[in-house]
Amino acid sequence: MTAATHSSLFPPVPDSADAVLEGLDPEQRAVATALHGPVCVLAGAGTGKTRAITHRIAYGVRAGILQPSSVLAVTFTNRAAGEMRGRLRQLGAQGVQARTFHSAALRQLQFFWPKAIGGSLPRLVDRKIQLVADAAAACRIRLDRGELRDVTAEIEWSKVTRTVPADYPLAALKADREAPRDPAEIAQIYSVYEDLKRDRAVIDFEDVLLLTVGILQDRHDIAEQVRAQYQHFVVDEYQDVSPLQQRLLELWLGERDSLCVVGDASQTIYSFTGATPDHLLDFRTRHPGATVVKLVRDYRSTPQVVHLANGLLAQARGRAADHRLELISQRPAGPEPVYTEYTDEPAEAEGAARRIRELVAAGVPAAEIAVLFRTNAQSETYEQALADAGVPYQLRGAERFFDRPEVRKAGVALRAAARFGGNDALLDDTVDLPSQVRAVLSGEGWTTSPPAGSGAVRERWESLAALVNLAQDVAAARPAATLADFVAELDERAGAQHAPTVQGVTLASLHSAKGLEWDVVFLVGVAEGMMPITYAKTDEQIEEERRLLYVGVTRARERLHVSWSLSRTPGGRPGRRPSHFLDGLRPGSTGTVGRAGGAGGGGVERGFTGGPSAAPRRTQRTPARCRVCGRTLTDAGEMKLMRCDGCPSDMDEGLYERLREWRADQARLSGQPAFCVFTDRTLMAIAESAPDDDRELARIPGVGTRKLNRYGADVLAICAGQEPEGEEVGG
């Protein structure tokens, strides 16, 4: 997994301002040299927008036109801000502030609060959901967990759109929002929530922006002090700016126009949070003299992937679609996207895991593969399928790399070795930086060969292996680098949250995949009801779902797999159909392609191979029902047990314990986590059904052909009360 421009990890620092411009294409160079007046960069996916704007800042700094401390670059995630700081450092432009809107506002709020308000800034609450629950209780309104989450989201939307509690019902109606409760009730909860915050002397995430806006509006002396500090602004992902963020930007700017914005209306996918592309689309109206540069050369994806992406947008409607960019791939031709239809969701997950295992076996790094889905709830099925296939994975949005215990511990060991290495016997035979890092980390659990399977042991090894690989990259870029230099590099990266690559297939929602890219992408669950999602009712909501799919497609560099299933559960009614967004684009489908033409062509005739018959299908299965009460099962864990979690178990406890002991022996012999042999649920299912033969054992979800062939004889022997014959590990 990498961020959105594939480049060398440690390029040499350019030796002059002109050298900063080397390697830029004509449009990127136009961005980099447009240092005066308002500038609007319309940048398609994979066109090197971050490269263009960081080179613009660096060129201005290196040419002496911009003072580093006078530049404020803002974006939307800590990762993106960290990446921007890292690139500026590599270009020799240290000292430029690159932050998220919230972190920039929080710094200013903390600094000016004593002067503007007096006292210390109220405590910032990490999670507001408990406060919302307290507010609902005070209003005598009962909310279940889902409603509590949804009401919290409505309060957040209200605040970023600058909607006060009394105005919420009308504002929600105008915005076509589907309120989770009566709008009057939400307005009441919102009002009490604000009262509770004041009573408890706390502020929330949105208050950081609101309070900063309030101070800058009311205190002209403070506003002028901020404007004296920051005189040049760059805003990345401008299509995602909310009305509140736009107001803050206007207050930072004052009457000046030294502003560069970068965005793509076709990647607007956060309108539910209050983001709107209107500020980007109206930029030339507000700034008639603006320089406008369009980046359409796609350096990320093959022509086959780009053709599909262009074809998706060719069918779009609405204002954002009117400003779509026709991408032109700059890469050699690659394989055609693959479309696959499955009978049910578990079959789809198993099919994806099987193909991923084949790719990894063929030499594709696991870190260069991603599985992207519409909702986080889809993740569990793919986690299980990958674990069953023995493929390591990582969840996007899980614990940050530098916060992992093994990484913190490794950092302590490396820092100690850098300081006292002359007295460390581990380093006696080391000759260069990589060998020193390997020697130190060997004491923390790193080995030359990874442990088999996945799980916590493998994850710890992958973290340490990422540090070893980073040491090799540092040494390749700077042969004279010392262990102390490497520790300094780690400190820089930790501050920027610029993590090295961890080996493992990435599982992520489409929303969280924005700004990232992989060699191979599996877009799963691309069926009506999921893409577009069922609750997308209005034309605007459906078009945003199309843009979300477009973002998913454009994450792929070389290979793209698109799949869907005909039913949710095994044996369910096959009533689903592929997403209508693929009509006219996938094999065997018909539909209006839409507005063709443009610089890159529509790509409708290309982008697929084979036909529906080429998709592997599983035999139809009857619905999974609880063997105790008869209820149809939909939960993956319940389907594995063939009973509801709440129904009584008839498990043979002794058999279950014998199976657990056998599994522990197998895991120890193979050097992999126990769940890679069989999960607890699968063992419970085996102990409850006590199968007599291969056929009965194969019916248990989680066994599968591979595990049946490898472990079937042992399991059946244990179920029959006999000693397993065992097998040689690796067979």
The rounded distance, in Å, linking the Cα atoms of 58 and 29 is 12
Of all helices (H) and strands (E), which one includes residue 566? strand 556-567
Q: Could you tell me the two tokens for 23?
A: 């390697």
The rounded distance, in Å, linking the Cα atoms of 485 and 138 is 56
The rounded distance, in Å, linking the Cα atoms of 703 and 677 is 9
Which residues contact residue 701 at a Cβ distance below 8 angstroms, ignoring those fewer than 6 apart? 346, 636, 639, 640, 682, 685
Comparing C-alpha atoms, which of 268, 319, 324 is closest to residue 296?
Answer: 324
- Beginning with the edge strand found earlier in the chain, give each strand of the sheet holding 71-75 in spatial order: 97-100, 71-75, 232-235, 259-263, 39-43, 291-295
Q: In sequence order, what DSSP letters do the residues of 473-532 get, joined into one string?
A: HHHHH-TT--HHHHHHHHHHHHHHT-PPP--SEEEEETTTTTTEEEEEEEE---BTBBTT
| Cβ count within 10 A of residue 165 | 18
**What's the start-to-end Cα distance of the chain, in Å?**
32
Comparing C-alpha atoms, which of 356, 359, 295, 361 is closest to residue 330?
Answer: 295
Q: Which burial class, exposed, middle or buried, applies to 555 when counting CB atoms under 10 A from its CB (0-12, 13-18, 19+)?
A: buried
CB 230 within 8 A of CB 70: yes
Q: In sequence order, what DSSP letters do the residues of 384-443 get, joined into one string?
A: HHHHHTT--EEETTSS-GGGSHHHHHHHHHHHHHHHHGGG-GGGTT--SHHHHHHHHHHT
Q: Which residues are annotated as a binding site for ATP?
A: 43-50
Strands 2-3 and 516-523: antiparallel
Q: Long-range CB contacts (< 8 A, 24+ apart) of 279-285?
A: 279/238, 279/241, 279/246, 280/40, 280/42, 280/238, 280/239, 280/241, 281/319, 281/320, 281/323, 283/38, 283/40, 283/238, 284/40
Of all helices (H) and strands (E), which one includes residue 228? helix 220-229
Torsion of CA 522, 236, 496, 113, to 10 degrees: -130
| Cβ count within 10 A of residue 253 | 17
Comparing C-alpha atoms, which of 311, 294, 291 is closest to residue 303?
Answer: 311
Length of the chain: 731
| Cβ count within 10 A of residue 327 | 30
Of all helices (H) and strands (E), which one includes residue 344? strand 338-344
Question: Which residue carries 């801000």 as its tokens?
Answer: 81
CB 338 within 8 A of CB 376: no
Q: Which residues are annotated as a binding site?
A: 43-50
CB 563 within 8 A of CB 341: yes
Q: Could you tell me the two tokens for 689?
A: 């059904």
Q: Which burial class, exposed, middle or buried, applies to 671 when counting CB atoms under 10 A from its CB (0-12, 13-18, 19+)?
A: middle
CB 603 within 8 A of CB 377: no
The rounded distance, in Å, linking the Cα atoms of 657 and 655 is 5
The rounded distance, in Å, linking the Cα atoms of 558 and 303 is 9
Which residues contact residue 233 at a Cβ distance below 8 angstroms, ignoring those fewer than 6 apart? 71, 72, 73, 74, 249, 252, 253, 258, 259, 260
- DSSP, res 159: H
Rg over CA atoms, the chain: 28
